[in-house]
Each structure stands twice: as structure tokens, then as C-alpha cells.
Amino acid sequence: MKFDPAKAVQKLEQFGEFGGVNPSITDSSTFTFLGANTMLDTFHGETEGCFLYSRHWNPTNKYLSDALAAMEGTESAWVTASGMAAITNAILQLCNSGDHIVSSVTTYGGTFAFLKNYLPKFNISVSFVNPTDLNAIEKAIKPNTKLIYTEAMTNPLLQISDIPAMAEIANKNGIKLMVDNTFTPMIISPYKLGAHIVVYSMTKFINGKNDAVAGAICADNVFINSLIDVNNGTAMLLGPVLDPLRSSSILKNLNTLHIRMKQHSKNAMYLAEKFAEIGLKVSYPGLKSHPGHELMTKNMNTEFGYSGLIAIDMETAEKAGKLMELMQDKGVGYLAVSLGYFKTLFSNSGKSTSSEVPEDVQKEMGLSEGLVRFSVGLDNDIEDTFQTIKSCLKELKYI
């Protein structure tokens, strides 16, 4: 039977302790035990259903974690105070001094900076490769490699990772495959495709309102339990815990994610096709011209579309800047970083969310200085949005 992430979330029965249709919010930092031995057993990880301290588990965070695990098809999940907290804690739980990572070179700028600039202080080395080159991935693996890291849809080039093939390489070498699925929640189910660990910035599509910063790690019970072990769990000891009030609001938003992803994708497809018609250099995996179109179509949950991210190449940062300023002035959306908002957001990736990547590496990976990344919103009249963008292009004499 085909996996349905939306149905998996909707089948959960999560209600408040007094019968409220929304789960109760537990804003306690610590929890009462009725017996001293129960506290002792909980510290040793031997007690089911007891909460110890909110840096470890909180009932409200567990509701959200359970919903995310259902969505991903994993045994468990754990939520964090940011997407970077999810990424860094999961990596540091897997890797020790002297270990090696093979990573996609096209990743979120913060992730690239962590891998390139921060991990060397722990003597953890990283080889960066083109995520679409499976031979390069395999050749980069060393005896001390512990992890292959990629994004399901890469930021900002929108390349598509072949997760089943990468998982096969990882399994053959006895290492883990970690996938950042921030761009494609519900659309791609990395764990079902063979990934061992799935990470998210929930700040983006999952929450969808740009009013919270949060992250998530989805994996099997063994990994999540190791991550929050009171003696040596990275997340437990570094403490990137998500506030339960934020967990509660994100959980509510998660239940509308399937509807939002369909509309984001529908609007993005419409704009991508229109951009191509007027001669713009556009990248969108939903277009048959995209190099990853067939791969994504094969591996995706098709009813949710091809995501809400589009990239167009204006060739120079100056032209990109003028276009974005005019689009903001005319009400297309906001010149802002991030994505997954109900209004359209656009930014010049090389000068913003990928600015941590050195310019020579940007050029090597094919990131144009004029690339404008759109996170297409939930516009009800997307034709009107297109006409406004088209008028901006004409006013600037770009078309």
C-alpha cells in the first residue's frame, strides 16, 4: 500500500487530558514522581510514560514528535529549537573526532558553514560532492566515513537527490544516510525511500507562518533514544529544547500541511510554466525540462505536487536586486529570507541564504550570482501574481 503522510497524521488520536480536542499544553520544566525508585528508573531510561525534565521530554513536545514520526513513517522523532539544532545535534551524535562525512556541496548556507568551518575544530572532516553524481559520492567514501548528508531538494539549486541509490551506497558501506527534507515535507518521504535519519527546519513549510523557529529529527527508536540519553546524548547535553508553547502551535499547523503543500505546489507550477513561456531561465522540478524531474516523479507522493520553490536566473546580482525591490513595491511578496510562508518570499540566494558558501564554490556548483529563489505563497489568484511579476520584468526591460 502506498504511504500517505497526511493520512498518517490525521489518524492520530491526540486530545487534552480533560477531553479537549487539542492536546493539553504542559509548560512545566520538571515533573513530580510518586516514588523515589520511579525517579531513579527514569534517570536510567527504564521507565515508560514518565517525564523527567523538559530538556529531555515534555508531553507537549512528545505530541508533536509523535505526529512528525507518523508523517515520516519513522519509529520516533524529537523536536528542537531550530532547524540548525536538529542538523548539528544529529550529526554530532553520529560522528566523533577522526570521523569523516560525505556531504552534498549544495546545502543551506548554515549547514555548509557548520560542515566546512565548525566541524574541523573537532577533527571531523567533510568531502563535498555534487549530490546528483552517485559515482562521486561512492568515491568520496573513506574507511572512517560515518555519514552521507544531503537535502531531498537542494537549497538553492533545487537539485533532486536519488535517496534510494544513496541509501544503497550507505548500507553497502555500513554508514548512515541523513536527509534534510525541509523543502519537500509530505512530497518526499526519505525514510520510506531508505534514509536512516530525516531532519527538518520546521520554521519553513511545516509551521508555515514564519512566527516560530523550530526543527525536528526523525529516526528509529535506537537513534532518538541515544540522542536524548541523560549520560551521553548530544541533544540532552547540549540542550536545544523546543518551547512547549511553540510545539503546540506547530502541531496545529502540521494538520493543515497537506492542504498548504498542494496549493504552494500548484501556484509554483503555474508560475514556473509562465516564466518558461516568457523566456526566463527557470528551474523547477515540476517542469519536464528540469534534470531531476523524472527522478522526483518516481520517488514522490504525487498528490502534493513538486513543492513551492522556484529559481530564476537574472544573471547578475544587480538585476536580481532591482527585480526583487520592484516586486516588493508592487505587492508580489516580500524580499526576505526563509520559505514556506503564506505570502511569496524571494531572495538572491548567493548573497543571502548561501552567502556562507565561498564565491568560487558557488561558481563551481553552478550557482549564478543573479539567482532569485521564490518561495511561492498561497495566492488565490496566481494569474494576477504572474501578471504583476511580468509587469515588473517589462518595466525593468528584462523581457
The pLDDT value given to residue 183: 98
The pLDDT value given to residue 45: 73
Cell of 298: 518516481
Phi, psi of 106 (to 5 degrees): -95, 95
**pLDDT under 70 in the chain at which residues?**
1, 350-355
Contact 216, 80 (CB under 8 A): yes
| From-to residues of CATH 3.40.640.10 in the chain | 5-254
Cell of 113: 558553514
Beta-carbon-side half-sphere exposure of residue 107 (alpha carbons within 13 Å): 28
| From-to residues of CATH 3.90.1150.10 in the chain | 258-395
121 Cα distance to chain centroid = 26
CA 202 – CA 344 distance, rounded (Å): 18
Pick the CATH number of 5-254 from 3.40.50.920, 3.30.360.10, 3.40.640.10, 3.30.413.10: 3.40.640.10
Q: Report the b/e string of 209-224 with b at 16+ CB within 10 A.
A: ebebbbbbbbbeeebb
The pTM for the full model equals: 0.95
The pLDDT value given to residue 109: 92
Reported CATH class of domain 258-395: alpha beta
Specify the pairing of strand 176-180 against strand 197-201. Answer: parallel
The pLDDT value given to residue 354: 62
